[in-house]
Every structure is written in structure tokens, then in C-alpha cells.
Amino acid sequence: MNNLFELQKEVQRISNQAAALSASLNAIEQKIAQFGEPTVQSPDFEKIKLLAANFPFKSHPIAALSRRAASLYLKILAKIILLSSDQRACMEQLVFLQWICTQASVDLPKLLHDANQVTMQTFEKIDQLLPKATQEQLIVDSLILANFTGQATQSALEYIVNLCVICNVPEKNLRTFSQIAKSVLQQKSNFYKKKNASILSYRSLFNHYLSPQQRDTLTQAQRYLVVEIPDSAVSQFRWKVKQQATVRTGDLIATYRKIRNSNITTNIVAHISGVLFQFHSNKTIYGVISTADDNKNDIRDWILKGARNEPD
């Protein structure tokens, strides 16, 4: 399976074709609705594990958290499933949640039972255990989980809004996170070709959900050509920062003098923040500002193919 849409279709196909499985899923749903404790040995959870094992995504950031922090993260996230009433949605949500649980070595059936114990005291631990970036990741994952079948329940949305209030997330950020969640669920490559600064600035919140092709598309969208000067046009060209240095908007990155007016020094400043990649090819000096995880050779090939993104 290449993306979440295909995973959803596969889960739906299994649910529709296997009567025994559907009956078992109904039992799970009833247990969750009654806040009971699911059984680890249930064949339904074995099926969920198998489906989750087919997720094509990179490691979830939760893998870097402490066990206590990961437990809090997942407990808050799992509560959303208890707020869902649709059997199909519940199954798909469980598969997604199982995949994240695997990253943190957390038992899903026990987690669902513990999620019933989420109270205001649980939320009070957020600032203590979860860094700001992790809180934002939690909100994005909550939106993904709540909207797995395209329509979140009212109670789930209210829960997420309350979570945003507790995490001090402004409304404009919530709108951005909603766009990110939508893009992950739809897995449309065209979305990542758009130059949406608000989306790109939160790449760390969804990069692990992208296919290799989508990551390449997004990386290319974040490359900006800031220097392109033929050798024949300048003298005394000097880089003022090191190769792959982090620069900010307005930083001086290079100086040069024009051949025809060698007495005047021209300054080149960064028009966007990022990491500056420098190289020389075809008797031309190039400078490209991109992300820290980009690759100089890939950038060189991209430039020589005629690709260009210029800062606004």
C-alpha cells in the first residue's frame, strides 16, 4: 500500500468482505463505547497489527520521546477513538493508532482502556512532558485520526479545539494544521508543489507521512536560487559565509566587483532564511538556499536541469 487512501480502501474491503471480522469489530466498538478493556489476544487486534505493519511511512517522531511522554501523547490521542461512533472509522483509526503505538512500544488494547481515564489532570501534564513542537505534532495527529473517513464527529472536533486551547495554539495555526492533516489523508503530490510558506514552515510535523517522491517534490519547492553569476561578469567574488551555513533573511552572504566597474563592491544578501549551498559549474557561480537535510549534488543537478525558485 502506497498511501493512507489505499490503506483505508484495504481496511474497508476487509471489513465488508469478512463477516466474522465485522462481527468482531462490532464487539470491539461496543467495548470501546462502554469504556471496557479490550483483550490483547483478540483476533481483531492481530489483524490491526498486520495492517499497521504495512504502513509505508518513516518513523514517527514519538520514537524520540521518553516512555512517560509517549504514553501521555498516545493516551490523549487514543481518546479520539472513544469519541467516534462509526465502526468503519473506528477500525481505520485503530490501524493508524497501532502504527504509532509500535513506534513507542505501547500496547494498543491497554492504551484504549487507559484513554478512558483522560481527565483535566492528564492535560495539565502536557506542558511538563511535551515540548512545543511535540504538542503541535499531537494536534496534527489528532486531526488526522479524527478525519480518517472524511468527517470527524462533533465531539472529536470539540476535543481537539480544547486541546488547542490548552496548548496555546492560535486559530491561524489550527487552520494550517488542518490543511496539513488533509494533505496527509489525501496524499496528493500537487499539494506539495504549492509555495505555501505556512505549510512548509511546519514540514517536520508531516515529513514522515510523505512518500519519497513527495519528499523530493517538497524539498525542491523549498530551494531558492539566490546567486547565479557568470565568471566573465565579475572579479573578486567572495563568499562571506561557509558552505552549508545557516543564514537568515538580510544576512550578507557574498560580495563581488563587476568587470566593467571594478572599483565598486556589490553585496549579496539572503532574501530568505535557510541553509546556503554553494557550488561552481559551467563557469558560473551558484548559491541556493534550501533546508538542512537537502543535498548539494541533488541541488546541482536540479539547477543544471534549468529548475528555478526565486525568493519573492
Inform me whether the pLDDT recorded for 14 exceeds 50: no
pLDDT digits (tens, 9 = 90+) for 193-246: 555 666 777 888 888 888 888 888 888 888 999 999 999 999 889 999 999 999
Average pLDDT over the chain, rounded to an integer: 81
Q: Which residues form the domain of 289?
A: 222-304
> Could you tell me if residue 309 is inside a domain?
no
Structure confidence at residue 88 (pLDDT): 59
Domain for residue 207, yes or no? yes
pTM for this entry: 0.71
Cβ burial 2-17 (10 Å sphere, 16+ → b, else e) = ebbeebbeebeebbee
| pLDDT average, residue stretch 37-48 | 55
Domain CATH code at residue 236: 2.40.50.100
- How many domains would you assign to the chain? 2
Which grid coordinates belong to 266? 556589490
pLDDT confidence band for 157 (50 / 70 / 90): confident
| Residues 32 and 146 reside in one and the same domain | yes
Confidence of residue 97 (pLDDT cuts 50, 70, 90): very high
pLDDT average, residue stretch 43-68? 84
Other residues' Cβ atoms within 10 Å of the Cβ of residue 126: 18
Q: Are strands 234-239 and 245-247 parallel, antiparallel or unpaired?
A: unpaired
* Phi, psi for 299 (deg, rounded to 5): -65, -40
Give the domain-ending residue among 218, 233, 256. 218
Same domain, 209 and 239: no
- pLDDT of 38 over the 50 cut: no
312 within a domain of the structure (yes/no): no
CA distances from 225 to 40, 214, 256, 259 (A): 54, 21, 17, 22
* Whether pLDDT at 289 is above 60: yes
What pLDDT shows up at residue 193? 58
> Rounded distance, CA 181 to CA 198, Å?
14
Res 215: pLDDT: 82
